[in-house]
Every structure is written in structure tokens, then in C-alpha cells.
Amino acid sequence: MIMLYAVAVAIHLLVAVLGVGLVGAIPITARIARRGAAAVSAAGQARSVAPILAVLLLATQLAFLVMVITGVLLDVAMAGAFHRTAWFQVSIAVLLVVGLSHARARAALRSARAPDGPREAALGRVERWGVVMCVGVATLALLMQVKP
């Protein structure tokens, strides 16, 4: 179990930094696109940034999945010690909020990519949901570190 714990921690940390760390780029990219859409042709700007946002959302979605899997492995390696703690239970609730925010950001991006969709408003929603994800990820990191 010690080996499982060590491997799970290593993967958990790598994915947190390299995968989940990309979540900060989502609201920044959406904001740049939204502000640029007002100055340039909205259709061209939204379409040019949509593939970037789609890749960022896919990468973070996969990273969140790996984080959940490694989190479960860590709990198993510790014989269920984590899931009995308050910080872990709160983390699960925050993770659900992050997941909901991620789904809403993807839906807003689909709206922005639609040929006749409200691009600027949709990019604004992607930006706002991205900020919610960032706050959620920061809260998760704080909970994991402080373990109140």
C-alpha cells in the first residue's frame, strides 16, 4: 500500500500542476476573445479562439478525471482514512461545483461556436464559469493543504 500511495501522490501532484493548472487559462482566453470580439469581427474572433478553449476544456476535464481517480486511490491506500474527514467531504462538494461549472462553460462554448449564436455573451459565460472553476480549484488546494 505504501507503493500505491507514493505513485498516486506523484500522479496526483503532476496532474494538479500540469492539467488542472490549465483551468486559469480558460477565463483569460475567453476574456481576450470577448474583448477582441467587440473591436474586431465577432464571428472571426470567436471562431479563432473556440478551438483553443475547446482544447483547454478537454484537457482540464481529463485532468479532473485523473485527479478523482488518484484521490480515490489515495483514500484506498490509507484504508479510507480521508473520506471520514470533514475537509475531504467538503472537497467532494467543491469538486461537484467545479464539475458543474466545467459543464456550463462547455455549453457556453458550444453556444459561442454556433453560426448564429450570441458569441460575445457566450464567451462572457465561459469566462465567468472559468472564474468559478478557478475559485473552486483554489479552494480544493487550500483544503488539501490545511486539512481543517
How much is the pLDDT for 98? 95
How much is the pLDDT for 106? 96
How much is the pLDDT for 97? 96
How much is the pLDDT for 47? 54
How much is the pLDDT for 67? 92
Q: Between the CA of residue 91 and those of 85, 97, 146, what are the distances in Å?
A: 10, 10, 12
Those residues of the chain that have pLDDT short of 50 are 39-40, 42-46
Q: What is the pTM of this model?
A: 0.84
What is d(CA 87, CA 80) in angstroms, rounded to the nearest whole number? 14
For 23-53, the pLDDT digits (tens) are 999 999 999 888 775 544 544 444 577 889 9
What is d(CA 132, CA 104) in angstroms, rounded to the nearest whole number? 11
Nearest to 101 by CA among 132, 75, 138, 70: 132
